[in-house]
Amino acid sequence: MIGRIVCSKSGRDKGYFMAVIKADNNYLYVCDGKERPLERPKRKNIKHVALTNTYLDENSYSSNKSLRRALAVYRDSASKGRN
């Protein structure tokens, strides 16, 4: 589960793609590298995120800059797939 890209389904960050940094029983800790940096991840209920089938490698979420870049590449490829 760690390193997986998820999309928020509810809350202020609805529609944003984020990466899972840590997982507990019913909660995921997610970051996007900008609004939610790696230093302070957001705790989200598993019910409030949509899971994708994409996982990031460890280098992609080693820093905020690399995480933002990896999520931007995924967001651009996902938006091209819809058209």
Q: What is the pLDDT of residues 23-71, one digit of tens each?
A: 999 999 999 999 999 999 999 999 999 999 999 998 888 999 999 999 9
Q: Which residues contact 74 (CB under 8 A, 6 or more apart)?
A: 5, 17, 54
pTM summary value: 0.88
Q: Judge contact between 3 and 61, C-beta under 8 A.
A: yes
Show me where the domains of the chain are located. Answer: 4-82
Q: For 4-82, which CATH class?
A: mainly beta
